[in-house]
Amino acid sequence: MSSLKSSHQAIILFFKWPVAGQVKTRLIPCLGEKKAADFYEAFIKDTITKLGDLDGVTIIGFSGNQRPKNSCGDLHAFFAKHHLQVLEQEGRDLGARMKHAMNDVFQKGYTSVVLIGTDSPDLPATVIRKAFEVLQYEPGSCCIGPSEDGGYYLIGMNAMFAEAFENVGYSQSDTYLQTIKALTKSQCNIYTLKRWYDIDDAGDLKTLLKNKDALVCPHTSKQLDRIPTAFCSESH
pTM: 0.92
Residue 91 in any domain: the answer is yes
Strand, helix or coil for residue 214? helix
Domain count, the chain: 1
> Domain for residue 40, yes or no?
yes
DSSP 201: S
Supply the pLDDT for residue 226: 87
What is the per-residue pLDDT for 236? 47
Amino acid identity of residue 65, one-letter, is N
Q: Would 73 be classed as within a structural domain?
A: yes
Answer yes or no: is 227 within a domain: yes
Beta-bridge partners for 146 = 152
pLDDT tens for each residue of the chain, 236 residues long: 334 445 699 999 999 999 999 999 999 998 999 999 999 999 999 999 999 989 899 999 999 998 888 788 899 999 999 999 999 999 999 999 999 999 999 999 999 999 999 999 999 999 999 999 999 988 999 999 999 999 999 999 999 999 999 999 998 999 999 999 999 988 899 999 999 999 999 999 998 988 888 888 999 999 999 886 666 555 44
Tell me the CA distances in angstroms from 46 to 120, 137, 165, one per residue in order.
10, 28, 27
Cα–Cα distance list, 222 to 31, 39, 42, 64 (Å): 15, 9, 8, 25
- Confidence (pLDDT) at 183: 94
DSSP H helices, the chain, are: 28-31, 33-51, 73-81, 94-107, 125-137, 175-186, 202-210, 218-225, 229-234
Whether residue 62 contacts residue 87, with contact meaning beta carbons closer than 8 Å, is answered with yes
The answer to the question of residue 213 being in a domain is: yes
* CATH number of 100's domain: 3.90.550.10
CA–CA distance, 77 with 160 (Å, rounded to integer): 32
Q: What was the pLDDT predicted at 100?
A: 98
**For residue 40, what are the domain limits?**
9-234
Task: Tell whether 69 is covered by a domain.
Answer: yes
Q: Quick check: 152 and 79 in contact, CB under 8 A?
A: no
Question: Which region, left, alpha or beta, applies to residue 194 given φ > 0 means left and ψ of -120 to 50 means alpha?
Answer: beta
Domain-located, residue 3: no
* Count of C-beta atoms within a 10 Å radius of residue 187: 10
Of 110, 120, 2, nearest to 53 (Cα)? 2
Q: Is 1 inside a domain boundary?
A: no
